[in-house]
Amino acid sequence: MMEKYEAAVVDGSHSDDVYRIVHSAPGEAGPTYINLGFYTAKPGKESEAKEFYDDVAVPVYDKLKADGAINSYGLAVPAVHRDEAFTHMGWYSSADLATRDVVSTAFDAADAARSEADNEAMGKRWAETFEPDGHMDQVLMVVHYYNGSGGGE
């Protein structure tokens, strides 16, 4: 059995991450896709990054969730640090990849609803809080989901 495992797996290709959830809006159904956004707060600005998320992202995600466009969303920070370059990982789950366009449109609409002065202040706040090159996105397809409520998978 070990020989089969070693033949199928590239040594060192697996690692586990441990995160602390700092904001969560769970959903009812199991996700099909999880859309991740990784952000790097400037040193000493970690709490400001959470506040920025609460002020800017949560209202948009709350509406998307209420409308049924997304299933769940949240924000996490690494609890066990390895070599990750990010400080915050935002995520939302969706039934399909087309939802990415719906989410982008919702954030564009939120920008358009704010005044020019408010958007300028938000841009300044972003620049003071986050590293300019510290952003990366990833999309995961869920192939197995178990919600822990019992009764099987």
Predicted confidence at residue 22, as pLDDT, reads 77
Helix (H) or strand (E) holding 72: strand 72-78
The sheet carrying 136-141 orders its strands as 19-25, 72-78, 88-94, 33-39, 136-141
Q: What is the CATH number of domain 18-141?
A: 3.30.70.100
Residue 132 Cα distances to 40, 129, 139, angstroms: 8, 9, 21
In the chain, domain spans? 18-141
**Cβ contact 93:70 at 8 Å:** yes
Q: What does pTM read for this prediction?
A: 0.80
Q: How many CA atoms, within 13 angstroms, populate the side-chain half-sphere of residue 8? A: 5
- 3-state DSSP percent of the chain in helix, strand and coil, to 5: 35, 25, 40
Helix (H) or strand (E) holding 99: helix 99-113
Give the model confidence (pLDDT) of 112-145 as tens digits.
999 999 999 999 999 999 998 888 999 998 887 7
Give the model confidence (pLDDT) of 13-26 as tens digits.
655 666 667 777 77
